């Protein structure tokens, strides 16, 4: 092969290599440009989405996670919905109210009661007991401190007798007039009240069957054998219980001014055994069992 032909072949190879390099450079530039454009478009989309969610709201619920330990991520959509309906409430109160199920409809959005056969079981217009639920260790209260046949769960019964005995040392009478009630008993009782006062009124002072905490064997209605139980607030026995009931593990279950939380009107005669530790905490903080449950009991 002549020298001239060899040179021509070399030149063609060189030109082809240059051509390939140019093509590769062009492909790289196009690819890079496309990627940059794609990122820019998506960044704008993300920015727009973030702008649609108020930054202040994002910050509120983000910060609150580290501020209070009863915040629950599972309830975030409920927190936001409740906040929209109640814009004047503090965020802590919004979370507490939703944890108490106050965003739900009473007797409709209901949940089976948890922590059965414990001192901190919660039964109300959102938490219910089944028809066949009977608490363990029911015992009859000594007739010296109760009407005939009154029963409470063993630990509550012992605490109640001790409380009544110590009150008697000061010439005071704390007598159990209503304690454990079965599901069927509550059916008849609530129906009686509903017929007498109408369902709406009855719901303010009587629990529907399955929703009465008397079925837990931990609740007791008291009086002093002199005044009608509805007038218990005006007795010396009531004053004594206000000072000492928590020392025996009992709380005033439906306090004045807490109707929204409990779902019931104020009842000076209705007490609930929760144990000394919880009773002391509730007394100190001036809260209800619902509020304690919403902030201290993690059952979700």
Instruction: Encode pLDDT of 26-72 as tens digits.
Output: 766 666 665 665 555 555 555 444 444 445 555 677 777 778 889 99
CATH number of the domain located at residue range(s) 110-296 in this protein: 3.30.1380.10
Q: Which residue has the higher pLDDT, 217 or 41?
A: 217
Contacts of 269 (CB under 8 A, 6+ apart): 221, 222, 223, 229, 230, 232
Mean pLDDT for 135-143 is 97
Whether the predicted pLDDT of 118 surpasses 60: yes
Q: How many CB atoms lie within 10 A of CB 124?
A: 24
Mean pLDDT for 6-19 is 57
What region, left, alpha or beta, does residue 19 occupy, with left being phi > 0 and alpha being psi -120 to 50 degrees?
A: alpha
Domain ranges of the chain: 1-52, 55-98, 110-296
Contacts of 277 (CB under 8 A, 6+ apart): none
> For residue 90, which phi and psi values (nearest 5 degrees)?
-65, 150
pLDDT tens, position by position, 68-103:
889 999 999 999 999 999 999 999 999 999 999 999
Q: Residue by residue, what is the 3-state secondary structure of the chain? A: CCHHHHHHHHHHHHHHHHHHHHHHHHHHHHHHHHHHHHHHHHHHHHHHHHHHCCHHHHHHHHHHCCCCCCCCHHHHHHHHHHHHHCCCCCHHHHHHHHHCCCCCCCCCCCEECCCCCCCCCCCCCCEECCCCCCCCCEEECCCCCECCCCEEEHHHHHHHHHHHHHHHCCCCCCEEEECCCCHHHHHHHHHHHHHHHCHHHHCCCCCCCCCCHHHHCCEEEEECCCCCHHHHHHCHHHHHHHHHHHHHCEEEEECCCCHHHHCCCCEEEEEEECCHHHHHHHHHHCCCHHHHHHHHCCCC
Whether the predicted pLDDT of 242 surpasses 80: yes
Residues in the chain: 300
């Amino acid at each position: 092969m002549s020298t001239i032909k060899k040179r021509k072949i070399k030149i063609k190879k060189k030109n082809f290599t240059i051509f390939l390099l140019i093509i590769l450079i062009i492909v790289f530039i196009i690819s890079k440009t496309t990627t940059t454009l794609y990122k820019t478009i998506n960044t704008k989309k993300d920015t727009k989405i973030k702008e649609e969610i108020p930054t202040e709201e994002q910050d509120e619920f983000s910060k609150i996670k580290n501020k209070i330990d009863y915040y629950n991520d599972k309830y975030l959509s409920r927190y936001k919905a409740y906040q929209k309906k109640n814009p004047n409430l503090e965020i802590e109160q919004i979370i507490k109210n939703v944890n108490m199920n106050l965003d739900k409809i009473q007797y409709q959005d209901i949940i089976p009661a948890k922590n059965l056969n414990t001192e901190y079981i919660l039964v109300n217009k959102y938490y219910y007991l089944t028809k066949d639920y009977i608490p363990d260790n029911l015992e009859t209260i000594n007739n010296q401190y109760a009407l005939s046949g009154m029963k409470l769960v063993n630990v509550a019964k012992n605490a109640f007798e001790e409380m009544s005995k110590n009150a008697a040392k000061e010439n005071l009478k704390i007598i159990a007039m209503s304690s454990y009630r079965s599901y069927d008993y509550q059916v008849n009782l609530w129906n009686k009240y509903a017929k007498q006062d109408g369902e709406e009124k009855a719901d303010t002072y009587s629990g529907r069957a399955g929703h009465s905490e008397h079925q837990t064997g931990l609740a007791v209605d008291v009086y002093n054998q002199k005044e009608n139980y509805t007038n218990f607030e005006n007795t010396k026995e009531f004053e004594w219980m206000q000072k000492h009931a928590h020392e025996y593990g009992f709380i005033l279950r439906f306090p004045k001014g807490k109707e929204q939380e409990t779902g019931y009107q104020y009842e000076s005669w209705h007490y609930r055994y929760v144990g000394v530790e919880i009773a002391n905490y509730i007394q100190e903080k001036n809260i209800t069992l619902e509020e304690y449950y919403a902030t201290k009991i993690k059952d979700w």
